[in-house]
Chains A and B, each alone.
Chain A
């Protein structure tokens, strides 16, 4: 079985400060890891993914995430937060073999960026 944990329901950051949204995972194999963002009453937008290779993955809108196999983590980061980054962020995992396999989502973390 595969699972994803997002330990923080909400993260509050001041605009211009760096942000981190935490994610840890559990799979019995090599993971594919994803971050998605959801704005109110909207579907999910793909931000970035890790499949293999460089542990630091860069994605859309200046976001990046670092895959840490020993800590089974895939934290989302951004050097300088914007108010427009305020949204709901989901981490997801599937086993290597692609997303024809089922994605398992975390419970989501609400990011609130204030002026």
Chain B
């Protein structure tokens, strides 16, 4: 149990285009999901907290107009990187809070490469 999926696993796009990443909790309902960014050989940086049915809460320094988050259902949150640039290339990881076990479970990550 407590499986979180992400799609796609890797994506390559041209500079200026937008990319959508999906995060799904497969066997539980998650009112809260989180989006992280991980740089090579670095820890995870929390970008935003996604709450079902309400606006996401962004961390300081994260541009909400560039990283659009939608949490339309209890099992799906999406992160859209708008007008992507090479500096947005990174490993993006989502997590979902499983309420019964009060634990965050992580997706497998999405590697974004912007050319």
Q: Mark B71-115, 1 if CB is under 8 A from A, else 0.
A: 000000000000000000001010101000011111111010000
Residues from chain B with a CB closer than 8 A to the CB of A42 are 108-109
* Alpha-carbon distance between A78 and B111 when the two chains are bound, in angstroms: 31
**Number of residues of chain B lying within 8 A (CB) of chain A:** 24
B32: Cβ under 8 A from any A Cβ: yes
**Number of residues of chain A lying within 8 A (CB) of chain B:** 21
Residues from chain A with a CB closer than 8 A to the CB of B46 are 102-103
Other CB < 8 Å A-B pairs besides A44-B106, A102-B49, A103-B95, 6 of them? A42-B108, A43-B107, A43-B109, A46-B103, A99-B104, A103-B104
> Could you list which residues of chain B lie within 8 angstroms of chain A, going by C-beta atoms?
2, 4, 6, 31-32, 34, 42-44, 46, 49, 91, 93, 95, 97, 102-109, 111
